[in-house]
Amino acid sequence: MFVVVLPIISAGIPISCHRESTVVQDGVHDYGPLMDKMPVVRVLLVNDKREAAVAIHGSYQITGSLTNIIEQGQELRRCALSVSDGGINVGDKHYNHSEIRIATQQDGGIELNNVRYRGEIRILQQFNNKFSVIGETDVEDFVSGVVGSEMPSSWEEDALRAQAVAVRTYVMYKKKVRRDEVYNLDLQELAYRGVAGETARVSSMVQDTKGVVMVHNWNIFPAYFHSTCGGHTEDVHHVFGKDSIPPLSGVECNYCNNSKHSQWSKDISKSVIEKKTAGCQCLHFQHTCRKGC
Ligand SMILES: [Zn+2]
């Protein structure tokens, strides 16, 4: 069984940097056999924009909101994506739909703002001629793209495997808690450069851990990861106001001492602090203030 080690990677809020051993009912779980097919994650790639650049490599088809095919082609050169007159424009074509989906037979053949993605994309109209784009990708492909974007692919194999488990756990958790939402997660939450993040080495390490996620009491949890904790990770309750569980309760860490981000200082004037905490006497962040400030 895989040793559970929350990794030392960039992005995210410090929670747990390392755990020395697993405990009863705490460990890893393979979701693969429980599902008929590979889970798909819905990721918000573009939001609230009036224009984006799109290109399609290989044969493709565009479907409308009723999943009817409204366009088919062999290749789409880079063109503008926009919204006007109640419809969606792809280059010089106007589709009178509130939502369209683009799929291509070439894996990784959809290019959006110069980033190539696997899977399909959905373009949804918003107000004021704006739109959002949601990518739909197999979880394992998505994990490969994130691992390669979050850390150098030259790092130790076990570090890459551990990162893959952490990312997969986080993604599957978000799939669970946001299953009824339009998208499961967005690019504010983790680094993702699509196909560009994947390398043969990263994909191999992701494949090694395929389907493995961390659980606590057989419940999946948000496996936050980060670059540097500064010596001790924080309890999730103090950061996000969520219920604390052992894997997210904070641990001492000596692994990131050499990071240039391990120790730092910042001068903040008294007036700025007073402004930030205006009305609150306890200096807690608003969402964790127990006095209701
Ligand atoms: Zn650390």
Q: Are 17 and 233 in contact (CB under 8 A)?
A: yes
Q: Which residues on neighbouring strands pair with residue 30, listed in sequence order?
A: 212
Ligand 1 centre to CA of 153 (Å) is 20
Ligand 1 centre to CA of 226 (Å) is 8
* Token pair in block for residue 264: 């730092």
The phi and psi torsions of 239 (rounded to 5 degrees) equal -100, -50
The phi and psi torsions of 110 (rounded to 5 degrees) equal -100, 125
The per-residue pLDDT for 25 is 40
Confidence bin at 288 (pLDDT 50/70/90) = low
* Token pair in block for residue 276: 């930030």
Q: Are 262 and 256 in contact (CB under 8 A)?
A: yes
Confidence bin at 241 (pLDDT 50/70/90) = confident
Ligand 1 centre to CA of 199 (Å) is 26
Ligand 1 centre to CA of 262 (Å) is 8
Confidence bin at 106 (pLDDT 50/70/90) = confident
Ligand 1 centre to CA of 162 (Å) is 15
Placement of tokens 């809020």 in the chain: 13
**How far, in Å, CA of 57 to CA of 73, rounded?**
10
76 HSE (CA, 13 A, CB side): 28
Ligand 1 centre to CA of 191 (Å) is 19
* Token pair in block for residue 287: 């969402």
From residue 93, give the alpha-carbon distance in Å to each of 10, 71, 88, 204: 41, 10, 8, 40
The per-residue pLDDT for 8 is 30
Is the Cα torsion angle 94, 96, 98, 104 positive or negative in sign? Answer: negative
**How far, in Å, CA of 232 to CA of 253, rounded?**
5
**How far, in Å, CA of 83 to CA of 51, rounded?**
8
Ligand 1 centre to CA of 233 (Å) is 7
Residue 86, judged by CB atoms within 10 A of its CB (0-12, 13-18, 19+), counts as exposed
The per-residue pLDDT for 19 is 37
Ligand 1 centre to CA of 229 (Å) is 4
The per-residue pLDDT for 217 is 87
Q: Are 162 and 5 in contact (CB under 8 A)?
A: yes
Residue 173, judged by CB atoms within 10 A of its CB (0-12, 13-18, 19+), counts as buried
Ligand 1 centre to CA of 251 (Å) is 9
Q: Is the pLDDT of residue 16 over 60?
A: no
Q: Is the pLDDT of residue 105 over 90?
A: no
Ligand 1 centre to CA of 152 (Å) is 18
Ligand 1 centre to CA of 142 (Å) is 26
pTM for this prediction: 0.80
